[in-house]
Structure 1
Amino acid sequence: MTKTVTRLFDNYSDATNAMRELEQLGVPHDNLSIVANGRDHDGALDRDNDGVNDDGDVTRGASTGAVLGGVGGLLAGLGLLAIPGLGPIVAAGWLASTAVGAGIGAASGAATGGIVGALKEAGHSDDDANVYSEGVRRGGTLVSAKVEDSMAAEAEAVLQRNKSVDAATRGAAYRQSGWSSFDASAPTYSEAEVADERNRYSSTPVG
């Protein structure tokens, strides 16, 4: 049996560290996925080269055909996608493929599908799926891995020690400010809003 373990990260660098550790743990590339906000994730997306205009819209999708099993690990195959409610994202792996509702190698420009549905299909609760999706909309990065039950505890430990966010705690914080669920029609956060969001939670315990 397999289990899907997913965590949200406020910082892209923490997420990529976790991805590398999961690869070292032996999780196959096909079972790993990363979805990062396209506005701000420490240099993974170059606006001038990857087709995102000043409004944050995808104008020229980057090829993602070599995402799975790419040389140098999954991160070597990061590609640009557009997911409803998240705008331009940088992503690799099965979760992004499910969210856009099409073969990941063919994705470019605006794509159909949704991140909440993809997370629920992977086995997450409706509540967690909404919190994770909202976290990406606000500038976070999502890492997800399909692992054998025997490896689940180790995989969860990897995600936790790399400063991941507890979904229940973050969801409660969102709700205190009036949030109820992920809204695919809501605008994605600007770079300034992403910075404010990170500052808000920088002193909050994670994991």
Structure 2
Amino acid sequence: MLKTVIGTFDSRDQAEKAVSALRNNGFYDEISVVASDRTRAGGPQDVTGGSVASGVSTGGVLGGLAGLAMGAGALAIPGIGPIVAAGPIAGILSGAATGGIAGGLIDWGVPAERSRFYEGKVKEGKILASVRSDEGKVNKAAGFLRDNGAKDVEVH
């Protein structure tokens, strides 16, 4: 049975380190990242040193996130604004744009209340990372997220 590990990061560097650690330990296609793209539509520059979204969507100049670039896409989510999603979640969000990030997470089995919580974190400028994997690997994935600075790490 697939489970979802989810957490948030305050900075691009933390998210990159976590994704790199996950990839170096056998997690590949399971990793997803969502971030607001504050550089689009005249928005403020992301305080983490550049837009994670534009870096991922324009070819992956973000080191550890570069491997996710193939699944990256820029989306406009009503009520949130422009975001970028990389990995499996990108397809879910493009199909669930009206449900926003919360709708996509609900589709992955994250309870509605927690899904709205994580959507709010992205609105605040946090970077959301998730790993959707089998039960035997989720605790390992959660550990890599925590070890690299993730907050609000949960398994659903």
Normalising by structure 1, we get a TM-score of 0.59
Q: Report 1:27-106 matches (<5 A).
A: 27-29=27-29, 31-39=30-38, 40=46, 41-44=48-51, 73-75=67-69, 78-101=72-95
Contact kept? 1:132, 1:167, Cα under 8 Å: no
Unaligned runs of 5+ in 2: 39-45, 61-65
Partner Cα separation in structure 1 for residue 77 and residue 153 of structure 2: 21
1:165 corresponds to 2:154: no
How far apart are 1:7 and its partner, in Å? 0.6
Normalising by structure 2, we get a TM-score of 0.76
Partner Cα separation in structure 1 for residue 15 and residue 101 of structure 2: 18
Which aligned runs of 4 or more in structure 1 are off by greater than 3 angstroms?
44-47, 75-79
Highest Rg: 1 or 2?
1
Contact kept? 1:128, 1:167, Cα under 8 Å: no
Q: Report 1:1-207 matches (<5 A).
A: 1-29=1-29, 31-39=30-38, 40=46, 41-44=48-51, 73-75=67-69, 78-101=72-95, 112-166=98-152
What secondary structure, in the 3-state scheme, does the structure 1 residue paired with 2:128 have? strand
How far apart are 1:125 and its partner, in Å? 1.4
1:56-90 Cα distance to aligned partner (Å, 9 max, x none): xxxxxx689x9xxxxx5114764422122221112
Q: Which residue of 2 aligns with 1:107?
A: none
The structure with more strand, counted as a fraction of residues? 2
Unaligned runs of 5+ in 1: 50-61, 67-71, 103-110, 169-207
In structure 2, the CA distance between the partners of 1:79 and 1:98, relative to structure 1 (3 Å rule), is closer
Partner Cα separation in structure 2 for residue 127 and residue 120 of structure 1: 9
Letter in 1 for 2:12: Y
What secondary structure, in the 3-state scheme, does the structure 2 residue paired with 1:139 have? coil
**Corresponding residue pairs, total:** 140
Contact kept? 2:131, 2:138, Cα under 8 Å: no
1:161-207 Cα distance to aligned partner (Å, 9 max, x none): 11111269xxxxxxxxxxxxxxxxxxxxxxxxxxxxxxxxxxxxxxx
Letter in 1 for 2:68: L
How far apart are 1:112 and its partner, in Å? 4.4
